[in-house]
């Protein structure tokens, strides 16, 4: 494969000989390379099956951002956005360059974003062929050959076999995800988990785009035949991918989007779906991708003889994943773009089992819940998380949001107001009791509620106000038992519901103290109130 001079001479400050670089290989070639290097094995119908152990999810404690004068006042520093200095970054960079010397590397020149006015040219350098395939699946490919004039705005150097030394490298483990915004460079080492590649670029976009009036969103998006667009905010495991992959609507994307003055556009060229317990009946469109050439199945167990995947087997992790191009889905948008959202849905996995499964939000409540981002970390999506854990993730994507939450909240509020979008809170988590006692709300019921929202069939349905959380609950939803809509009625012990609800209300109040002095009184008082809680 010919490597253009501008690529071979300078790869993200790694000086490499052209004969060690495979440039923009397509899927069949990457399959051949991955199999020849024992990076994975073939499943029965064509997917490439890989393992990422010991890292089967993101490593948030291993991500650092270089703190220099150009970004110091713009980043929300803390446990999520951990600072490092330029000397530490440069030292790690030099060590990784030494590791790369003489190794075969794979390069993909791609784009983050379908909207040509806002897309980010990215160069992904990997030492694994399957990681190059992952990048090719997950980012937007140029139309035709990559032009010789291609200049990356950011470069990702992904050397998963490199292991950092905390004592030498200023890291917390053998894994390292280091972002240098000033030098437009990202270093990833010590982890085989493919998701680190795409999430590192999402973090960069969350820093860059607000200055252009674009809201970066951790959400999925789809649209109807008449162009009515919906976005689904939520952390991994809350149902973004599942609920947006609807045969009756066109999928714009399943995870990362921007909301510009023209509408919504996908950052990605593919999907990265959870595969645990997937069946043809529950998720037919996503299941179909598991029978496609080009799909990558991470940490999925396959039969050693038949090579049939067993999606119910969580021996390695609950966070089994499938990476596939949008073109593998029969109802995906060809241009990755849609109009301004008519409906904004916040998806939450409520581990307490006390939030209603569906409720409409006022604009102030939408701002409150966007800033709160209540959900649960679901087993396997992060290192060290083995069971659901209640948490607050501001903007429903705190791990990826680099600036102050107020920056994103102000953009969302302005766009909701300007485009008159309806907002909803949808609990895809538990009912009838807390984790260990209750059960997850059936997917068929959640789909029925979402369908009713998107089809505007709840517009004229009477509402009841939830006395604990102050939410507006529809009195009926087609295809959903009415008792399910009022969570207290699903518990055998109403007093136990009251106790757990009060605990969650207190958690909301404690968490929102962070924002109390930075939002209007209307937003601050739009959340649940201890005074109205039962008991």
Beta bridge partners of 268: none
Residue with tokens 């199999």: 35
d(CA 217, CA 258) in angstroms, rounded, equals 6
Catalytic residue flag (residue 95): no
Say how many C-beta atoms besides its own lie within 10 A of residue 431's C-beta: 23
Q: Which of 180, 246, 255, 422 is catalytic?
A: 255
Q: Which of 52, 155, 191, 236 is catalytic?
A: 236
Please tell me what DSSP assigns to residue 140.
B
Catalytic residue flag (residue 498): no
Catalytic residue flag (residue 218): yes
CA gyration radius for the chain?
A: 23
Is-contact 446 430, C-beta < 8 A?
Answer: no
Catalytic residue flag (residue 321): yes
Helix (H, G, I), strand (E, B) or coil at 328: helix
Catalytic residue flag (residue 241): yes
Residue with tokens 């087993």: 379
Cα–Cα distances in angstroms (integers) from residue 370 to residues 108, 263, 392, in the given order = 35, 19, 10
End-to-end CA distance of the chain: 70
Catalytic residue flag (residue 136): no
Catalytic residue flag (residue 260): no
Catalytic residue flag (residue 236): yes
Q: In what helix (H) or strand (E) does residue 364 lie, and over which residues does it extend?
A: helix 363-372
Residue with tokens 């209007």: 520
Residue with tokens 């089809």: 455
CA angle 363, 367, 368 (to 5 degrees): 115
Q: Which of 218, 274, 340, 524 is catalytic?
A: 218
Q: Which of 240, 257, 340, 377 is catalytic?
A: 240
Q: Which of 95, 199, 403, 445 is catalytic?
A: 199
Indicate if the alpha-carbon torsion angle 439, 442, 447, 449 is positive or negative. negative
Q: Which of 131, 321, 403, 445 is catalytic?
A: 321
d(CA 205, CA 192) in angstroms, rounded, equals 23
Helix (H, G, I), strand (E, B) or coil at 86: helix
d(CA 148, CA 370) in angstroms, rounded, equals 42
Q: For residue 356, give the nearest of 269, 422, 445, 275 by alpha carbon.
A: 445
Residue ranges of the alpha helices (H) in 177-321? 195-208, 240-244, 284-289
Q: List residues with catalytic annotation.
A: 58, 199, 218, 236, 240-241, 255, 321
């Amino acid at each position: 494969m010919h490597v253009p001079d501008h690529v071979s001479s300078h790869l993200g400050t790694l000086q490499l000989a052209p004969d060690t670089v495979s440039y923009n290989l397509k899927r069949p070639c990457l399959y051949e390379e991955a199999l020849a290097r024992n990076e994975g094995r073939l499943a029965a119908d064509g997917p490439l099956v890989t393992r990422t152990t010991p890292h089967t999810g993101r490593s948030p404690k291993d991500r650092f951002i270089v703190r220099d004068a150009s970004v110091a006042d713009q980043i929300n520093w803390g446990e999520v956005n951990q600072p490092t200095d330029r000397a530490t970054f440069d030292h790690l960079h030099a060590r990784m360059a030494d590791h790369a010397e003489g190794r075969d590397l794979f390069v993909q020149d791609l784009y983050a974003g379908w909207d040509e006015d806002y897309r980010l040219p990215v160069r992904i350098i990997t030492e694994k062929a399957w990681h190059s395939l992952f990048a090719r699946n997950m980012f937007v490919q140029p139309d035709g050959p990559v032009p010789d004039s291609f200049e990356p705005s950011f470069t990702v150097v992904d050397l998963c076999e490199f292991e950092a030394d905390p004592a030498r490298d200023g890291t917390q483990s053998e894994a390292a995800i280091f972002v240098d915004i000033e030098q437009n460079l990202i270093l990833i080492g010590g982890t085989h988990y493919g998701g680190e590649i795409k999430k590192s670029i999402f973090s960069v976009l969350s820093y860059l785009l607000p200055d252009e009036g674009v809201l970066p969103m951790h959400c999925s998006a789809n649209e109807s035949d008449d162009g009515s667009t919906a976005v689904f905010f939520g952390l991994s495991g809350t149902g973004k991918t599942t609920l947006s992959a609807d045969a009756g609507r066109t999928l714009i994307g399943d995870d990362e989007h921007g909301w510009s003055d023209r509408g919504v556009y996908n950052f990605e060229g593919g999907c990265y779906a959870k595969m645990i317990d997937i069946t043809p009946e529950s998720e037919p469109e996503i299941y179909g991708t598991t029978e496609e050439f080009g799909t990558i199945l991470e940490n999925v167990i396959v039969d050693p003889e038949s090579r049939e995947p067993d999606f119910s087997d969580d021996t390695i992790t609950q966070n089994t994943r499938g990476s596939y191009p949008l073109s593998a889905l029969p109802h995906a948008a060809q241009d990755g773009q849609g109009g301004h959202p008519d409906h904004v849905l916040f998806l939450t996995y409520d581990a307490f089992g006390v939030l209603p499964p569906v409720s409409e939000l006022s604009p102030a409540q939408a701002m409150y819940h966007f800033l709160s981002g209540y959900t649960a970390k679901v087993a396997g999506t992060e290192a060290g998380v083995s069971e659901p854990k209640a948490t607050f993730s501001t903007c429903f994507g705190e791990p990826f949001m680099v600036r102050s939450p107020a920056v994103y909240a102000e953009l969302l509020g302005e766009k909701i107001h300007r485009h008159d979008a309806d907002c909803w809170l949808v609990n895809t988590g538990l009912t009838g009791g807390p984790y260990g006692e209750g059960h997850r709300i059936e997917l068929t019921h959640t789909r029925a509620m979402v369908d009713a929202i998107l089809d505007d069939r709840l517009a004229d349905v009477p509402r009841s106000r939830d006395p604990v959380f102050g939410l507006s609950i529809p009195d009926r939803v087609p295809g959903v038992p009415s008792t399910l809509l009022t969570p207290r009625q699903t518990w055998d012990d109403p007093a136990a519901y009251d106790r757990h609800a009060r605990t969650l209300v207190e958690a909301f109040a404690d968490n929102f103290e962070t924002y109390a002095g930075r939002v209007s009184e209307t937003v601050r008082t739009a959340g649940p109130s201890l005074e109205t809680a039962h008991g």
